A and B are shown apart, each in its own frame.
Chain A
Amino acid sequence: MRAARAAPAWLLGAGLLVAAAAALPAAYLFVVVAGDLGDALATAFSSRTAAVLARTLALTTAVTLTAVALALPIGWLTVRTDLPGRRLWAVLCSLPLVIPSYVGAYLFIAALGPNGMLRDALGVESLPSVYGFLGAWIVLSLFTYPLVLLPLRGALRRIDPQLEDAARAMGRRPRQVFAEIVLPQLWPVLAAGGLLVALYTASDFGAVSLLRFDSFTSEIYVSYRSSFDRTATAALGAVLVVVMLGLLLLSSRLRGARVVHRLGPGALRPARPYRLGRWRWPALGFCAAVAALAFALPVGVLIYWAAEGISTSATTWSRAAALGGNSLMVSASAAAIGALAALVVAALAVRHPGRFSSLVERASHAGYALPGILVALSLVFFATRIVPPLYQTTTLLVFALTIHYLPLGVGPLAASLVQVSPRIEEAARGLGRGRAEVFRTVTVPLARGGLLAAAALIFLHAMKELPATLVLAPIGFETLATDIWTQTSFGFYEASAIPALVLLAIAAVPVYLLAERDIESR
């Protein structure tokens, strides 16, 4: 068994390379913490740290469960039922992913805050506060649930309907079929998507700072912004990495060793859509409400600002388009490299499970659990000491974005590889092809959907990343995200409407392709 599963040398080598690169930020934390272990331990195990950690875990749990609770019905409705306008809802409900959480948060405050547009529209004295846990929970759930929805829709499409038919034939009611047949097959993607939402929430700074929820990342920021205390900051970062490892373990337990690829012969038969009947209207209402709150409302506010505030904005459409070119180049590079690196990690984890593979998978997630600024500072540290010529180049920026967002690609790729039967690969081997050739000609094409999803997700997040871009971009190299920062640092969010809209428009392309792909290939 062990011999049959041993990974080829080239895959092991690639895995080692990816793991080493992705572990750099964690290594930096280790270097700093080791420099003053006593202080670091005091910070890491203080009661204050424990309290903030508990608050952050509460938020993380709430957001993750809410994201799954939103994604599951939308995914099922848009893939497996006769919901009117499925195609439209699939796209609209995926699009909130393009909105950076900091933009989402300030739009949320502007629209629903105590002095917001809703209050003006209603003409009431004041509205209940949107700040704190409630606001952070709502905003982060609304802008992260597509991380679950996108891979979920792919998985729903690949489920073999024969099992469900058989269950129905044996007299199971639709609800039982869903709970006993469909849901277990979705565990891998739900666990992987949920992990991404959880890590995103734990490492988010933009939304929680605007909504004034004192989370672990705010603690990290306050610690280094106020006291410039590297040790305390690194110690807190290290705690976040440990939490991330716990979440990763939990997620892989949930993903488990279930067999979810098809065992039967023949091609996949498309599933017959469920008839919604009188449930069609509540179902439509649900999709419309989510799409309105998470996408139409924020975009509407931005368009309103762009139309109203054009004279006060320093960023013209043509300048925003030029900045969009920069964002596009950097993000596309990170997406292409990141998807390939993620494929290596996923192939090891799924095809060659073992101690080495899980080590690589854990290392690959280290960068994602940390706030972008810590990833950036770690690369400043290493680049200025080890490879000075790379410092202040777009290459280093692309590298930072790649290792920061690599895990976004691992989830969908692992989920899609799990659903590819290794027997197909074995058959190709039996027909005389080498391992590398099988990987290239069989595994990669079958995991194509996963690769595309991986690239798209990394691309999106790289577009939105701010602190690492501000610190690592070559001097004078501006992107849409840095321009949004420049415009909003006056304190007037309205001024950022044009770059924010261009960012959304570019980021919407891969999301649209992802959402549409699922429909076309059905």
Chain B
Amino acid sequence: MRPFHRKTTALACGLLAAALAAGCGFDTSASGGGGENEPETAGVTLYSGRIPAAIGPAIDRYEAAADRDVRVRFADTADLAATLIEEGGASPADVFFSQEPGGIHAVAEAGLLAKLPGDILEMVPPRFRDPEGRWVGVTGRARVLAYNREELSEDELPDSPFGLTAPRWRDRVGWSPASSSMQEFVTALRLRYGDERTREWLEAMVDNGAVSYPNNITIRDAIAAGEIDVGLINHYYVAQAVAAEGRDYPVGVYFPPDGLGSLMLLTTVGVLESSDRKPEAFDFVRSLLSPGSQGFFTASSKEYPLAIAAEPDPSLSVPLAEIPSTGDDLVDLTELQATIALMQESGAL
């Protein structure tokens, strides 16, 4: 019994000491969310749905240029949007970076975003910004057809994803119904063509033996390995592989002009109406759209840079201006639940 007693006491003391340290120690160093007493040089607070590795250097660039700190909360875009909505006017955030279209839309609809100055809005083409001026696109992810360049040429491919239900594509097409990008694409189809036509397409795809993969990367690798010939994926997975493996990489991308075949999903940024550092926040947004930061986004992720001043990237085989405009890039993607229900009913999920 003795040794146990001592151990328990030691453990209890340890826990208590840790509790006290956490209760008192951290708060002096780690809190300070109030902002009232902070020095003038205190910087911008960013809620980032984009992971540290995919935005960090762009933040560093701004910090160095503006001599200001950026404090970042990283989490899933949806979690951050829900947090912002609960915080309401009391949010410590100045800027919100939304990695998926639904997040910024929800925050904007809740009336939490400030109007951006005209000079920021004009940094990107009208196609890639909110018509009401509450947010701008930073990078774009295109939904494309990836194909095996050794088996097929571009002119053999259908002009629209609707063409993939033809008999000649039986058992040759890969998709990833469980991935969020595929679900966003189906949502856009529903909103453009209606639930009935979308359901028919989903059912025809299933009947035609479309092969389900867990995500975009496995589709790309299956095309490269010759398991399938065509896949519905995001463009940058191919661009990343081309950058890593060289020009001979067997998978190419094709932007079908019809049927939302080239839908552009945007990552976006907005400034909170409740921010008391709006000038700094606007500066930060300008910095994200500067050629330097846009170059980093392109180089690291192979997403399309959306700023007019951005340098084109040679590994993106089709320039942004040549991507067929679907007119649905700003589509309301908050209807995911109905999409998932439809995909389940049609047997795709």
A residues near B (Cβ < 8 Å) are 48, 115, 212, 222-228, 230, 314, 328-330, 332-333, 335-337, 339, 373, 376-377, 380-381, 384-385, 388-389, 391-395, 398, 448, 451-452, 455, 459, 467, 470-471, 474-477, 482, 486, 489-491, 513, 517, 520-521
CA of A392 to CA of B27, assembled, Å: 9
Residues of B contacting A475 with CB < 8 Å?
33, 45, 71-73, 92
Is the Cβ of A388 less than 8 Å from the Cβ of B34? yes
Q: Quick check: B51 and A373 within 8 Å, CB to CB?
A: no
Q: Specify which of B19, B78, B85, B215 is in contact with A332 (CB 8 Å cutoff).
A: B19
Q: Contact at B337–A222, with CB atoms within 8 Å? A: yes
Q: Does B282 contact A (CB under 8 A)?
A: no
- Within the complex, the shortest CB–CB distance from A279 to chain B, in Å, comes to 31
- Complex-state Cα separation, A477 to B27, whole angstroms: 11
Q: Closest residue of chain A to B334, judged by CB?
A: A227
**Distance between Cα atoms of A393 and B14 in the complex (Å):** 22
Residues of A within 8 A of B110 (CB): 228
B278 CB to closest chain A CB (Å) equals 19
Q: Tell me the minimal C-beta distance from A158 to chain B in angstroms.
A: 13
Complexed CA–CA distance, A328 and B53 (Å)? 25
Q: Report the separation of the CA atoms of residues A380 and B84 in the bound assembly, to the nearest whole angstrom.
A: 9
Kindly supply a per-residue 1/0 record for chain B positions 77-102, scoring 1 wherever the CB is within 8 Å of any chain A CB and 0 otherwise. 01101110111101110000000001
Mark each residue of chain B from 274 to 290: 1 if its CB lies under 8 Å from any CB of chain A, else 0.
00000000000000000
The answer to whether B19 and A212 have CB atoms under 8 Å apart is: no
Q: Do residues A228 and B334 form an inter-chain contact, with CB atoms below 8 A?
A: yes
Q: B337 contacts which of A226, A339, A392, A395 (Cβ < 8 Å)? A: A226
Q: Is the C-beta of B7 less than 8 angstroms from some C-beta in chain A? A: yes
B83 and A452 form a contact (CB under 8 A): no
Taken together as a complex, chains A and B put the C-alpha atoms of A470 and B82 apart, in Å, by 12
Q: Of B30, B79, B88, B178, which contacts A212 at CB under 8 A?
A: B178
**Can you name 26 A-B pairs with beta carbons within 8 Å?**
A225-B78, A225-B82, A225-B336, A226-B336, A226-B340, A227-B336, A228-B81, A228-B85, A333-B19, A333-B21, A336-B16, A376-B83, A384-B91, A385-B90, A389-B34, A392-B33, A393-B30, A394-B31, A455-B11, A471-B83, A474-B33, A476-B72, A482-B74, A490-B51, A491-B217, A513-B11
Q: Is B23 an interface residue (CB 8 A)?
A: yes
Enumerate chain A residues within 8 angstroms of B15, measured Cβ to Cβ: 332-333, 335-336, 339, 455, 459
A-chain residues with CB within 8 Å of residue B64 when the two chains form the complex: none
Please give me the residue from chain B that is nearest to A495 by CB atom: B53
Task: Report the minimal beta-carbon distance from B146 to chain A, rounded to whole angstroms.
Answer: 17
Nearest B-chain residue to A521, judged by Cβ: B4
Q: Are B26 and A394 in contact (CB under 8 A)?
A: yes
Contact A513 B7 (CB under 8 A): yes
Residue of A nearest to B84 (CB): A380
